[in-house]
Amino acid sequence: MTVFTPETLAVRWECSPSHIRKMIGRGDLPAFRLGGRLLRVRVRDVEDFERCGDSVDTGTNGQPSPERDQAESVVRLARIERMLREQSIV
């Protein structure tokens, strides 16, 4: 099983490790503890999150949560920036 740490996922999404931890804490991103302490995120969960950026969790009022919107924006922006960098290299 391939996994990310909050730090390695933060590099992929070009955000801070604390932002990743907050996403996990809010339940926006599934994660598990390895050995009771080490926080890990499965690659398939990261790919699912990236792929399903348009599906949003809703709050109690049926509206998308602002936290989820922000998290999805961070992922989309990182994806776009990575694509632009790759295009300029080739």
Asked if 21 and 56 touch (Cβ cutoff 8 Å), the reply is: no
pLDDT at 17: 95
Alpha-carbon dihedral sign for residues 46, 56, 54, 11: negative
Taking the model in full, what pTM does it have?
0.61
Q: 58 or 82: whose pLDDT is higher?
A: 82
Provide the pLDDT confidence category of residue 64 given band limits of 50, 70 and 90: low
Domains annotated for the chain, with CATH where assigned, are 3-54+65-89 (1.10.1660)
